[in-house]
Structure formats: C-alpha cells, structure tokens
Amino acid sequence: MSEDGARPVTYSGYYGADSRPVRGVVPEEAVVTLVVNGQAVVNLMCTPTRLEDLALGFLFNEGLIDSLDEVAVVELCGNGQSVDIWLRHDIEIADVRAITSGCSGGTTFGAAQEPPQRVQSDLVITPEIVTRLMEMLSEASSLYRRAGGVHTAALAVLDNDGSLICVAEDIGRHNTLDKITGAWLRAGRPTESPIVLTSGRVSSEMVSKVARMGAPVIVSRTSPTSLSMQLAQAAGITLIGYTRRRSFRVYAGEERLVIEPDPGSTN
C-alpha cells in the first residue's frame, strides 16, 4: 500500500487520432478490516491512509466508544490490511448494518433516521469566513490535485481568520469524516465548537457524525439531501451547501450567520 494514497500507473492516453502510454497516478482503494476485541466488525472500503484515525472515528461515530479512555490498544496488522483495536470493555454489534448513500457503500450500525443529539453552541460565523475556509479546504486537497477521484474533509476553528486543524482525504466522503473524528479524538478534542468542511454531498449519516462530534456547522461544496436537512434542523446544526467564491446556500440553522456591516457604507 502507498503511504500517500496514490498509486503510480501507466495508462493509454488518446489525443485525437494519436495515442501513447502515459505515466500517472490514481487514488488507491483498499479493503481494511476493523477488528474489535478479536472480532471482525466491518470491512471498510477506503483510501489506506490515517487508518488508526479512520477506525477510532468509526467506533466513536457509531456510538461504540465515547472517548479514548476506553481504548487499550490500536494496532495496524497484516501490512495495513486490518486495524486491531482492543477496548477496556465488551461491545455489542447490531446484526443489521445499514448501507448508506456514501461513496463505496458506507456502513452504519445505527438507525438511519434516528434523530441525532442536539448540538449546543453559541458560535456565529460570517459569510466571509465560510468562503475563506472552503478556499483553504481546496488548497489542502493535495491528493485530489495529484490523482483526482477523492473527497476531502477538514476540521476548522475560528482563530484569527480561521484555520484547519485536521484534513483527511479518501475515496469515501463518509470515511473522511471518520478520519477527522479519529484525529480530533487523538488530539484531545482541541476545540468545543469545530466547523466541519467537506467536498462531498451531505447525507443523513454525515449529519449524525457531525452531531456526534458536537460540531455546530457543516459546510459542503455541493448539496445536502432532504433527510440531512431535517436532521440538521433537529440537531441545531447550521447546514451550508454549494459554497462558491462569493456565494453559498443555507439549508438549516441560518441564525448562526451574521452579516457584518460594510465599513464603507454610510447607512
């Protein structure tokens, strides 16, 4: 497995009536097994980077752990083909796994339409911050620029003009959220009101993951689904989509948006 998520390939490039071999890269895809307390729990189709974060974030977002204090061992096994986690307690896994709308078929053990926990936060943001953070997300998408075909997610905080505290890329948009959740846990939950940024569509399971982290805002480059809008409203989450250089759409939680007066205005 590659360390940066891209695999060198040679393909045939056609240019009009001519063709020639071209060396390039494509996103790497792998099946990684999550093993908990000696039991294989789920096979994750993913980009094989930040696998410890992916595994820990998946367990947290599924409600199987609430903190790293419950984790005794995290170990990559089988040349990165599995993540072996031992907890300080037993867990019960539901027999029914919901296949979500995520890329590569996301998996969740929870009820797909179960209302998420409500997020309590006094955070307010401006339109300028929203567009600036998404520009930073694009700049941080290094694997996408090299190979294409992947999603990017990040956690941001509002220090000064805003900054990204964690960035993850993966073939599955749901995996990117699990990866940043795992990194957030391992860093000691460094902020109480993180902002989640994503390049992908916001579906219901993604809103549930954001609510689980206590993040009051999720910003996407593209669209939410109807159910994600309902869940975001119920959870008190500001849901923003179709973010462009100077525009975006707010689908839930508009009360967090504050428009600052134009300093050049005389009104």
pLDDT digits over 74-84, tens only? 999 988 899 99
When pLDDT is averaged across residues 106-127 and rounded to a whole number, the result is 76
23 is a domain residue = no
Range of the domain at 60: 30-108
What is the full DSSP assignment across 78-139? Answer: TTTTEEEEEESS-----S--EE-SSTT--EESS-TTPPPPPP-----B-HHHHHHHHHHHHH
Bridge partners (DSSP) of residue 46 are 30
Looking at the structure, do residues 100 and 133 belong to the same domain, yes or no?
no
117 is a domain residue = no
The Cα–Cα gap between 174 and 189 comes to 20
When pLDDT is averaged across residues 217-226 and rounded to a whole number, the result is 97
At which of 73, 108, 143 does a domain end? 108
Looking at the structure, do residues 235 and 149 belong to the same domain, yes or no?
yes
Q: Which of the four pLDDT bands, split at 50, 70 and 90, describes residue 93?
A: confident
When pLDDT is averaged across residues 211-232 and rounded to a whole number, the result is 96
Looking at the structure, do residues 239 and 148 belong to the same domain, yes or no?
yes
Looking at the structure, do residues 93 and 170 belong to the same domain, yes or no?
no
49 is a domain residue = yes
Tally of domains in the chain: 2
Is 166 an active-site residue? Answer: no
At which of 57, 77, 108 does a domain end? 108
- Angle between the N-to-C axes of helices 204-213 and 173-186, in degrees from 0 to 180, rounded to the nearest 10: 10
Looking at the structure, do residues 101 and 199 belong to the same domain, yes or no?
no
CATH number of the domain residue 48 falls in: 3.10.20.10
Looking at the structure, do residues 185 and 239 belong to the same domain, yes or no?
yes
pLDDT digits over 178-199, tens only? 999 999 999 998 888 899 999 9
6 is a domain residue = no
Residue 184 has a pLDDT of 95
Residue 262 pLDDT greater than 90, yes or no = no
Looking at the structure, do residues 145 and 198 belong to the same domain, yes or no?
yes
212 is a domain residue = yes
265 is a domain residue = no
pLDDT digits over 160-174, tens only? 778 999 999 999 999
Catalytic residue among 46, 77, 103, 166: 103
CA-closest candidate to residue 198, choices 237, 230, 159, 161: 237
Residue 78 has a pLDDT of 86
Q: What angle do CA 259, 210, 248 make, to 5 degrees?
A: 35
Q: Which residue has the tokens 């905080």?
A: 157
Pick 104 or 248 by higher pLDDT.
248
Looking at the structure, do residues 70 and 133 belong to the same domain, yes or no?
no
245 is a domain residue = yes
263 is a domain residue = no
Looking at the structure, do residues 77 and 167 belong to the same domain, yes or no?
no
pLDDT digits over 41-83, tens only? 999 999 999 999 999 999 999 999 999 999 999 999 988 899 9
CATH number of the domain residue 159 falls in: 3.40.140.10
